[in-house]
Chains A and B, each alone.
Chain A
Amino acid sequence: MKALRNPLERAINHGSAGSGVHHWWAQRFSAILLVPLTLWLVWTLAVLSGADYAEARDWIASPWNASMAVLLVASVFYHARLGVQVVIEDYVHRRALEIALQVVVAAAALVGAIIATIAILKVAFAG
């Protein structure tokens, strides 16, 4: 049977088709972003330990901290999804289960990032 799709179209996503290093770079970029953001998180935890509700709210509500929090949430869930994706690829050998897990992890990361971001913005905009 004559192949209707051109060779490049059939090669893409099936091995070396020029997208191989994208995942690697994305993981590194998000990792580099997460170094200062993690330090911000630790600093925040130190400030907020023993803080009451008003103090915690004021801390997150400041534009600087709200921005850091949103950036942290976005980077964490992106980086976590990339990392867990590779773990699933490596250890889950039943194709159907692997794809199902990939969908669940990607969806969970997206949902987690959106919920946290909306919660942070709600605090930020409420002042």
Chain B
Amino acid sequence: METNQRPLSPHLQVYRPQWTSVLSILHRITGVLLSVGTVLMVFWFVALSEGEQSYKAMVAFMSSPPVLLALVAWTLALFYHLFNGIRHLLWDTGTMLELKPARTSGWVVVVLTFAAAAIVWGGLI
């Protein structure tokens, strides 16, 4: 059966990026980043279980500027995925699916993400 001559639906890059589509792919991107970030979480627990020396080494590693920057990015990814995940759960109930509430809830998610990250890092620094 010849399949490659069939008409295709337009590829993704044909579309102009939109607020909702950018936020949609961002949910995936942050999800993958958070999955990678779990490595750091595992190392932190292991360091804690192995005694004071390894815990101090871990804290020193996490306080170095590049890792600190990664942690800030990780916090933003975490809050985005959390708030946008709640948005997805609301969609799953069949509500807020129209364009206007979808755009508005997107803005709410973005504002909450930066606000929550600012509160966390404002408290830490």
Contact = CB atoms under 8 A, between A and B. Distances in A.
A binds B: yes
Interface residues of B, number: 28
Contact of B49 (A38, A76, A122): A122
A83 B35 contact: yes
B48 A28 contact: no
Contacts of B34: 80
B92 to A, nearest CB: 7
Interface string A80-91: 100110010000
Given A32-B89, A45-B120, A56-B55, A87 B28 contact: yes
Contacts, number: 77
Interface of B: 28, 31-32, 34-35, 38-39, 41-42, 45-46, 48-49, 51-52, 55-56, 78, 82, 85-86, 88-89, 92, 116, 120, 123-124
9 contacts: A31-B88, A31-B89, A42-B120, A69-B45, A73-B45, A84-B31, A112-B42, A116-B41, A123-B49
